[in-house]
């Protein structure tokens, strides 16, 4: 039986190297979407927005925003294709980017 939870994930770009990163429950930034915090309640959303705002002020990240996602059997899948592509890397070369490095998460950009 598949378990699913809907929520939102905070993403940004790390200023040091431009990598797409996701805010974790521990308040750190990870390149792996499956480590992201999936906020479901208004208080959780406010907390991750506040944390991201702090990290913008310290020049750790830039361009932060929330996006809709679903946790499916413990793994996170972005609901919109734009976020799935940001998670994977180049969509025309599977030998490049996060998918080639094994950091892309469990879900492809487009379901086949």
pLDDT tens figures, 2-33: 889 999 999 999 999 999 999 999 999 999 99
For 73-103, the pLDDT digits (tens) are 999 999 998 888 888 766 666 666 666 666 5
Place of tokens 């890397």: 89
Residue 108 domain-assigned (yes or no): no
**Which structural domain, as residue segments, surrounds residue 61?**
4-92
Instruction: Kindly state whether residue 71 falls inside one of the protein's structural domains.
Output: yes
Contacts with 67 (C-beta within 8 Å, 6 or more apart), sequence order = 8, 9, 11, 78, 79, 80, 83
Mean pLDDT confidence for 50-67: 97
Q: Is residue 99 part of a domain?
A: no
Does 101 map to a domain? no
Q: Which of 20, 57, 50 is nearest to 35 (CA)?
A: 20
What total number of domains does the chain contain? Answer: 1
Instruction: Tell me the three state secondary structure of residue 10.
Output: strand
Mean pLDDT of 40-63: 97
pTM for the model stands at 0.82
- 3-state class of 13 per DSSP? strand
Distances (CA, A) of 83 to 1, 22, 47, 66, 76: 26, 11, 21, 10, 11
Residue 109 is assigned to a structural domain of this protein: no
């Amino acid at each position: 039986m598949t378990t699913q939870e809907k929520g939102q994930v905070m993403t940004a770009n790390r200023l040091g190297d431009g990598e797409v990163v996701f805010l974790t429950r521990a308040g750190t930034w990870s390149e792996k979407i499956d480590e992201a915090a999936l906020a479901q309640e208004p208080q959780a959303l406010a907390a991750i927005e506040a944390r991201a705002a702090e990290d913008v002020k310290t020049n750790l990240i830039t361009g932060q925003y929330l996006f809709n996602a679903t946790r499916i059997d413990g793994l996170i899948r972005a609901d919109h294709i734009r976020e799935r592509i940001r998670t994977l890397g180049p969509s025309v070369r599977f030998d490049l980017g996060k998918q080639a490095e094994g950091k892309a998460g469990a879900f492809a950009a487009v379901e086949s």
